[in-house]
């Protein structure tokens, strides 16, 4: 049994190797390292903490079951993006009627942000929430994870041109939506 | 020239890879059907996961029977797809499973082919010498495709020990080694 | 207005709630989350000695680096919960696989027993 301290201080690939060897502590460390990414991705897409936690639960256990197929930390991250992205799309399709949720579903933590920014950020989140499932996940991967279109295409297993088209159309929708603010 | 080399490679590598594969069937090609299925089950349990599951089972009652079985099993792989319409899968999807079951080591134990219901069930056993090394159940119905693949020294006789649990019936353990068909 | 910049701000990563993994797993498999080793601690002399040694060790560790020790213990406990939950999940899958196999074998049995065979 490898001491927890050693696991905590090991670099990422060592931790993955330890987790693949059945070390549950190493697995827990892996989860903690990456949970912000996949929880946040689900939260931004689904706009519900409960739904994001449910989805995290599935991704979490599926990760454990697939550790033996993951060869490196980069592979693990790309696997998490792909699985989380696809599950978000599936969940949105399943809960089609709940696409638009009230803004208070996503509490803002940035207390230092100015009120005007909060309003704009909230409006942008609301507009993104009205996009179709795939477009919504593309937007969150682009702006939360700052992925390039080719990386998004890889994560969601869709052509790069489709990703670019989603981004282009979504940005146009957002611009139009923002212009409507303040109009009677 | 390139074609000749490729042919020789196929002849040399083909049988070797079939042997290396052993009783484990490759079912990944069926994953694409999951999105079209009304219900799908995808189970892939490897040796490490079996060890983990076994470690948390009690040595009494139904759990003891399961624990004893898991001690011998090296992997459990299931793809079960139920569709809302016919022809959702192709004959190629089925043939890619069947081709693997023609590899050395596999022998068909039972075939139930009901033309009336369009239902085909085949049971295969994998043997290495005299030792049993795995089991495969292939079910082909108009709106269902199921493959169960259990890797390890588990034959129908041992599976019969679990009868009464998990919906396992009294099994045709005396079935002849060759196929029987309607 | 810089839309790219505003979108990045609107979609910054949110921190996962503390103990998310543990809570999620507890909700999924409440039966497998049991307090560790509560039943096995009987007050034998050996146990008492072990307890004193453990307490001394814990005080020493806390003195050296309390927060880090706490975090590691929390991680180890969480790891145990993860392992138990994963085991429960695999057991569920094994049972499901056997059920499916059982159903299909029942079909074979039924057909083989049909009188016109």
**CB distance from C86 to chain A under 8 Å?**
yes
Q: Do A68 and B52 touch (CB under 8 A)?
A: no
Element spanning B137, H or E: strand B131-141
In-domain check, residue B165: no
**C79 CA: distance to closest CA in chain B (Å):** 13
Top residue of A68, A87, A90, A158 to mutate, by most chain B CBs within 10 Å, is: A68
The pair of structure tokens assigned to A110 is 């940035």
Contacts of C71 in chain A (CB under 8 A): 8
Mean pLDDT across B105-126: 87
- Residue spans of alpha helices (H) in chain A: 4-9, 12-20, 24-46, 49-66, 73-94, 115-129, 133-143, 149-156, 160-180
**Partners of B146 in the β-ladder:** B80, B139
**Strands across the sheet with B75-82, in order?**
B39-45, B75-82, B144-151, B131-141, B119-128, B106-114
Between residues A115 and A157, the one the model is more confident about? A157
Q: Is the pLDDT of residue B93 over 90?
A: yes
Backbone angles phi, psi at C29, to 5 degrees: -130, 70
CA distance linking residue A11 with residue B84, whole number of Å = 48
Question: Would you call A68 and B46 a contact, using CB atoms and an 8 Å cutoff?
Answer: yes
Q: How many CB atoms lie within 10 A of CB B133?
A: 20
Query: Are A65 and B49 a contacting pair at CB < 8 A?
Result: yes
Structure confidence by residue, pLDDT tens digits, B33-73: 988 888 888 888 888 888 888 888 888 777 787 888 888 89
Q: Which among A163, A155, A144, A151 has a CA at the least distance from the CA of A43?
A: A144
* C-alpha distances out from residue B129 to B17, B69, B126, B157, C51, Å: 18, 21, 10, 18, 55
A169 compared with C115, residue with greater pLDDT: A169
Establish if B52 touches chain A: CB-CB under 8 angstroms.
yes
Residue, of C112 and B86, whose pLDDT is higher: B86
| The pLDDT of residue B108 is above 80 | yes
Cα–Cα dist A106/A144, whole Å = 15
Quick one: three-class SS letters along A116-161? HHHHHHHHHHHHHHCCCHHHHHHHHHHHCCCCCHHHHHHHHCCCHH
Residue A171 predicted with pLDDT over 90: yes
Chain A residue closest to C80 (CA)?
A24
Asked if the model's pLDDT at residue B140 lies above 60, the reply is yes
Q: How confident is the model at residue B5 (pLDDT cuts 50, 70, 90)?
A: very low
Looking at per-residue pLDDT, the higher value among B32 and C103 belongs to B32
For residue B52, tell me if it sits in a domain. yes
**A53-107 confidence digits (pLDDT tens):** 888 878 877 887 788 788 888 888 889 999 999 999 888 887 764 444 443 344 3
B68 vs C68, which has greater pLDDT?
Answer: B68
Please name which of A145, A155, A140, A148 lies closest in space to residue A43, comparing C-alpha atoms.
A140
Q: Report how far residue A37's alpha carbon sits from residue A44's, in angstroms, rounded to the nearest whole number.
A: 11
Task: Give percent above pLDDT 90 in chain B.
Answer: 27
Asked if A12 and A33 touch (Cβ cutoff 8 Å), the reply is yes
Q: Which residue of C has its CA nearest to B67?
A: C91
Whether C75 and A32 have beta carbons less than 8 Å apart is answered as: yes
Share of chain A above pLDDT 70, in %: 75
Range of the domain at B137: 28-160
Q: State residue B37 phi and psi, 5-degree precision.
A: -85, 145
Which of A4, A3, A1, A8 has its CA nearest to residue A33?
A8
Percent of chain B with pLDDT over 70: 73
Count of residues making up chain A: 184
What's the CA gap between C19 and C77, in Å, rounded?
11
- The pLDDT, as a whole number, for residue B164 is 55
Q: Which of A27-31, B17-21, C61-65 has the highest mean pLDDT?
A: A27-31
Question: pLDDT at position A147, please?
Answer: 93
Contact A124 C7 (CB under 8 A): yes
Q: How many domains does chain B have?
A: 1
Q: Return the closest-CA partner of residue C27 out of A53, B55, A36.
A: A53
Residue C15 DSSP one-character state = P
Tens-place pLDDT, residues A134-159: 999 999 999 999 999 999 999 898 89
Higher confidence at residue A45 or residue B155?
A45
Q: What is the pLDDT of residue A96?
A: 62
Pairing between β-strand B39-45 and β-strand B119-128 as defined by DSSP bridges: unpaired
Model confidence band, residue A118 (pLDDT cutoffs 50, 70, 90): low
Question: What is the structure's pLDDT at A153?
Answer: 93
Q: pTM for this one?
A: 0.47
pLDDT at B110: 86
Interchain contact, C11 vs A178, CB within 8 Å: no
Give the span between the Cα atoms of C114 and A165, in whole angstroms.
60
> Span B123-142, mean pLDDT?
88
The pLDDT value recorded for residue B96 is 95
Within a domain: B69: yes
Question: Each residue of B79-91: pLDDT tens digit?
Answer: 999 888 888 999 9
Residue A41 pLDDT > 70: yes
Residues B90, A60 contacting (CB under 8 angstroms): no
Spatial contact of B101 and B140, defined as CB atoms under 8 Å apart: no
For chain C, list the contacting chains (3+ Cβ pairs, <8 Å): A, B
Given a cut of 70, whether residue C39 has pLDDT beyond it is no
Q: CA–CA separation, C87 vs A22, rounded Å?
A: 12
Report, in angstroms and rounded to the nearest whole number, the Rg of chain B calculated over CA atoms.
18
Task: Examine the pLDDT at C41 and tell me if it is beyond 80.
Answer: no
Strand-pair partners of B44 = B77
CB < 8 Å to B49, chain A: 65
Is A117 in contact with A131 (CB distance < 8 Å)?
no
Q: Can you give the residue ranges of every domain in chain A? A: 4-180
In a domain, B41, yes or no: yes
Is 60 exceeded by the pLDDT of residue C101?
Answer: yes
Contact C79 A175 (CB under 8 A): no
């Amino acid at each position: 049994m490898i001491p927890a301290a050693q696991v905590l201080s090991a670099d990422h690939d060592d931790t993955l190797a330890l987790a693949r060897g059945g070390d549950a502590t190493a697995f827990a460390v892996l989860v903690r390292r990456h949970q912000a990414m996949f929880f946040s991705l689900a939260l931004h897409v689904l706009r519900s903490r409960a739904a994001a936690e449910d989805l995290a639960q599935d991704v979490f256990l599926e990760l454990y079951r697939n550790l033996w197929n993951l060869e490196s930390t980069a592979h693990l991250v790309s696997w998490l993006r792909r699985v989380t992205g696809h599950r978000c799309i599936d969940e949105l399709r399943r809960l089609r009627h709940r696409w638009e949720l009230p803004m208070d579903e996503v509490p803002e933590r940035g207390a230092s942000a100015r009120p005007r920014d909060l309003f704009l950020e909230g409006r942008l989140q609301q507009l993104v929430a009205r996009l179709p499932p795939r477009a919504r996940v593309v937007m969150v991967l682009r702006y939360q994870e700052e992925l390039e279109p080719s990386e998004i295409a890889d994560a969601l297993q869709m052509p790069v041109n489709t990703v670019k088209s989603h981004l282009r159309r979504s940005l146009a929708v957002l611009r139009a939506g923002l212009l409507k603010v303040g109009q009677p | 020239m390139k074609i000749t080399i490729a042919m020789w490679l196929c002849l040399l590598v083909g049988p070797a890879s079939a042997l290396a594969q052993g009783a484990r069937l490759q079912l990944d090609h069926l994953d694409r059907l999951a999105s079209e299925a009304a219900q799908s089950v995808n189970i892939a349990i490897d040796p490490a996961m079996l060890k983990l599951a076994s470690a948390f089972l009690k040595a009494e009652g139904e759990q003891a029977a399961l624990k004893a079985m898991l001690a011998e099993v090296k992997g459990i792989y299931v793809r079960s797809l139920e569709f809302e319409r016919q022809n959702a899968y192709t004959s190629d999807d089925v043939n890619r499973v069947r081709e693997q079951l023609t590899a050395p080591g596999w022998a068909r134990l039972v075939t139930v082919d009901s033309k009336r219901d369009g239902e085909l069930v085949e049971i295969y056993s994998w043997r290495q010498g005299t030792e049993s090394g795995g089991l495969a159940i292939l079910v082909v119905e108009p709106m269902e495709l199921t493959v169960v693949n259990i890797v390890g020294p588990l034959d129908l006789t041992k599976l019969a020990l679990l009868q009464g649990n998990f919906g396992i019936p009294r099994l045709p353990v005396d079935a002849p080694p060759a196929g029987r068909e309607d | 207005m810089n839309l790219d910049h505003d979108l990045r701000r609107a979609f910054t990563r949110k921190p996962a709630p503390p103990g998310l993994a543990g809570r999620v797993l507890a909700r999924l498999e409440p039966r497998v989350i049991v307090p560790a080793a509560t039943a096995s601690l009987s007050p034998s002399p050996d146990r008492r000695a072990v307890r004193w040694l453990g307490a001394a060790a814990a005080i020493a560790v806390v003195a050296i680096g309390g927060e880090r020790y706490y975090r590691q213990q929390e991680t180890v406990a969480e790891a145990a919960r993860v392992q138990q939950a994963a085991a429960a999940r695999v057991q569920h899958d094994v049972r499901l696989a056997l059920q499916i196999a059982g159903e299909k074998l029942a079909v074979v049995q039924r057909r083989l027993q049909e009188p016109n065979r």
